[in-house]
Amino acid sequence: MTSTSLSLIASDLDRTLIYSAAALHLPMPDAQAPRLLCVEVYERKPLSYMTETAAALLAGLARSAVFVPTTTRTREQYGRIHLPGPAPRFAICANGGHLLVDGESDRDWQRVVAARLADECASLAEVRAHLLAAADPAWLLKERVAEDLFAYLVVERSLLPDGWTRELAEWAGTKGWTVSLQGRKIYAVPKPLTKSAAVHELVRRTGAERVLAAGDSLLDADLLLTADHAWRPGHGELADTDWSPPHVTALAERGVEAGEEILRRFTETVTEASAAPAGPVRATVPAPGGTEAPVAL
């Protein structure tokens, strides 16, 4: 008799599973382009998409694994997304700052996060003041604070001076913060605020014996390192630096095709491993741009 083990799938959303029109990357002729499903509407306009094939794969995963959307989006921004299949019971928002259970932020987890931020890094107010002082109005379009946890700038990317983001990252690192450049957004996020910490909490709560993950940016590195197996697309910050730890598969696909391939890999792995003994869950917190070796819990 065989036994099954529970898989938890924690995946980034934007530019990993879902894509704006500008990020779709459809290199094939129009007649060969995949059919797209709109999964987000904002101000009465379609905003984010996935392929119909990807949508079917995602809906199927809900029947065989615990799927956890894992995003840097705020709760409000996440609420605009309507993924195919049943609504996930769990979701991770604000880069791990909020753990949603049946749509509600878990208060116990909020207290854990608040304590870590108070003890381990500079305040949001200090970092935000530096961001505003260092940014040039010539290329700064917007400045925002997300959930009173972190800050980000929306910039005119073509006017952003070479080296500015690197200098900001060096300063932020001394304050216990991480900087990530994603499209037109420059994020400044406390290092203790991680997607992986929230995933570990969900592993504890669900009893999952296997963690699969996917993501494209520096803010996803800790998530990918904490998984038993992970995938990254052929675009994004991690691809730009050729970041590929041993258990992270670097895909060649880019754009919306990468999202479909990630879901195909999730499905294949869950199917193949459903009756196999589960391995240890990995845990580490990477330095910015680093590839620390995962350690078994």
Per-residue confidence band for 138, with pLDDT thresholds at 50, 70 and 90: very high
DSSP, collapsed to helix, strand or coil, labels residue 213 as strand
Give pLDDT, residue 183: 87
Q: What is the pLDDT of residues 47-101, one digit of tens each?
A: 999 999 999 999 999 889 999 999 999 999 999 999 999 999 999 999 999 999 9
**Position 254 pLDDT exceeds 50:** yes
List CB contacts of 209: < 8 A, sequence separation 6 or more: 5, 6, 7, 278, 281
The alpha carbon of residue 57 and the mean position of all alpha carbons in its chain are separated, in whole angstroms, by: 19
Residue 211 contacts residue 231 (beta carbons within 8 Å): no
**Position 291 pLDDT exceeds 60:** no
Give pLDDT, residue 72: 97
Give pLDDT, residue 193: 97
Give pLDDT, residue 275: 61
**Position 4 pLDDT exceeds 90:** no
If you search the block for the tokens 């003890």, which residue do you land on?
A: 119
Q: What is the pLDDT of residues 181-234, one digit of tens each?
A: 998 999 999 999 999 999 999 999 999 999 999 999 999 999 999 999 999 999
**Position 294 pLDDT exceeds 70:** no
CB count within 10 Å of CB 79 equals 14
Give pLDDT, residue 272: 87
Give pLDDT, residue 140: 97
Q: What is the pLDDT of residues 276-286, one digit of tens each?
A: 654 554 444 34
Length, in residues, of the chain:
297
Q: Residue 41: what residue type?
A: V
Q: Residue 151: what residue type?
A: A
Task: Report the percent of the chain where pLDDT is more than 90.
Answer: 88
For the chain, first and last CA: distance in Å? Answer: 28
Mean pLDDT of 251-264: 98
Eight-state DSSP code of residue 28: S
Q: How far apart are CA 15 and CA 293, in angstroms?
A: 25
The dihedral through the CA atoms of 75, 146, 239, 50 has a sign that is positive
CB count within 10 Å of CB 261 equals 22
Q: What is the pLDDT of residues 26-36, one digit of tens each?
A: 999 999 999 99
The dihedral through the CA atoms of 90, 85, 58, 260 has a sign that is negative
Q: How far apart are CA 164 and CA 158, in angstroms?
A: 13
Per-residue confidence band for 273, with pLDDT thresholds at 50, 70 and 90: confident
**Position 297 pLDDT exceeds 50:** no
If you search the block for the tokens 């957004």, which residue do you land on?
A: 185
Q: How far apart are CA 197 and CA 233, in angstroms?
A: 23
Q: Which residues pair with 146 in a beta bridge?
A: 150
Q: How far apart are CA 15 and CA 265, in angstroms?
A: 17
Mean pLDDT of 103-111: 97
Give pLDDT, residue 289: 38
Enter the pTM of the model: 0.89
What distances in angstroms separate CA 151 from CA 154, 168, 197, 232, 250, one per listed residue? 10, 13, 20, 25, 29
Mean pLDDT of 239-243: 95
Eight-state DSSP code of residue 199: H
Per-residue confidence band for 5, with pLDDT thresholds at 50, 70 and 90: confident
**Position 246 pLDDT exceeds 50:** yes
What are φ and ψ of residue 155, in 5° steps? -125, 160
Residue 148 contacts residue 76 (beta carbons within 8 Å): no
Q: Residue 196: what residue type?
A: S
Residue 226 contacts residue 282 (beta carbons within 8 Å): yes
What are φ and ψ of residue 58, in 5° steps? -65, -45
